[in-house]
Structure 1
Amino acid sequence: MTFGDPGAVHGALEGSSSDASNLARRPVFALVTSGVWVAGGLVSPSILVFLLVLSLLERRVGGWRTAAVFTLGHVLATLLTELPVAASVASGYLPASSLDRLDYGISYGLLASLAALTGLLARWARWSVLGGVGVMLTLDVIELADPLTNWGHVLAVLIGLACWSPLRSRVAPHREANRYPMRSQ
């Protein structure tokens, strides 16, 4: 994204966007390819957060469960935001151009993973992280610069929170033992 030809990058984004139009034509391709783009490219701070959050989650619950949380957050938040757009266009509430609004990036999967990870943290860390994310999302929703994405972010966090119980029951025993080190008597 950073170093490519702007026309080629835009064409690639259009082709891999999970907008309502692409979801209707080729849903699996759109959902898979839209979730690998990083807004701002490889120099984005999102890459560092992505690596940190997914590494920590993977360390606690394993690679498959981490991939499942990321995928669930990306796919469900995308569908929960894009399907109402398609319904609104079909009912005449939104113009047809709304079907082709670019929708791509790792943010839904990343936020779902972060929210899921907080369920495995100590109470003070959990509420500190969720409080910070909550403030950020609230400000984004109030600003309404990109309402569809902003509400998708909120939905992604809720999806991650819904993963708390299943993940807590799946924490590997040796990882759980490391979570609460024994205190000296």
Structure 2
Amino acid sequence: MSPDFEEDFLRQRSTNIHELSRNPVRVLITSAMWIDSGHWLPYAVLYTVFHAQAERWLGTLRWLAVCVAAHVLATLISELALLVAIRDGHAPHYAVNTLDIGVSYALAGVMAVLTYRIAPPWRYPYLAAVLAFYVVPLATSRTFTDFGHFLSVLIGLGCYPLVRSRGKAWNPKETLAALRG
């Protein structure tokens, strides 16, 4: 795709305020099918590792429920916050057409719900790392996307009722001992 065509193509699939007001269901689905071409590699690696582990542990329906909850709720709440910021003069009006695509909100939710897969005391450093990964950008740049990622983490953590009966928690110490023979 040419750069101009790609931008227009992605903008029509973006969960920005303009597109959400026109066809919310379509853009909530199609936006998750694309990623910003400049950031595809980190998300592809994280997506593969975390989503594969989560789907094996949770099963497809629970995994999908976490993905959808994080993607949809974080998108709607962060775009509402952006709309309020535009209305109150804290963001420019052209932000209604901001390009907002990708699976990153779903990924953040899944990364958070995996906290419950890890046995204590390993769970707490993992949770601290996930929170730091998403809180630092929120604290330093405060964009609606950073806010959406943080919301996705909270939503993923809130999915505990979906995962509480999913078997024994993974203990890294046991895995390392087994690998040593």
State the TM-score, normalized to the length of structure 1: 0.83
Which residue of 142, 151, 156 maps to 2:152? 156
State how far apart, in whole Å, the 2-side matches of 1:177 and 1:143 are.
Answer: 37
Task: Read off the aligned partner of 1:110 and give its amino acid letter.
Answer: L
> Are the aligned partners of 1:19 and 1:99 in contact in 2 as well (CA < 8 Å)?
yes
Give the percent of matched residue pairs that are identical in Structure 1 and Structure 2.
31
Q: Which residue of 1 aligns with 2:121?
A: 124
Matched, 1:25 2:25: no
Shift of 1:8: 1.8
Structure 1 residue runs of 5 or longer lacking an equivalent are none
Superposition RMSD in Å: 2.3
Structure 2 residue runs of 5 or longer lacking an equivalent are 175-181
> Are the aligned partners of 1:77 and 1:155 in contact in 2 as well (CA < 8 Å)?
yes
Q: Which residue of 2 aligns with 1:63?
A: 60
Q: Which residue of 2 aligns with 1:81?
A: 78
Shift of 1:147: 1.2
Matched, 1:133 2:133: no
Q: Which residue of 1 aligns with 2:110?
A: 113
State how far apart, in whole Å, the 2-side matches of 1:88 and 1:136 are.
Answer: 24
> Are the aligned partners of 1:118 and 1:125 in contact in 2 as well (CA < 8 Å)?
no
Aligned residues: 172
State how far apart, in whole Å, the 1-side matches of 2:18 and 2:10 are.
Answer: 13
State the TM-score, normalized to the length of structure 2: 0.84
Deviations 1:48-91 (A, max 9, x none): 21111111111111001101101110000000110132344456
Shift of 1:43: 5.4
Runs of 4+ in 1 over 4 A off after TM superposition: 90-94, 177-181
> Are the aligned partners of 2:118 and 2:169 in contact in 1 as well (CA < 8 Å)?
no
State how far apart, in whole Å, the 2-side matches of 1:157 and 1:126 are.
Answer: 15
Is the partner of 1:110 in helix, strand or coil?
helix
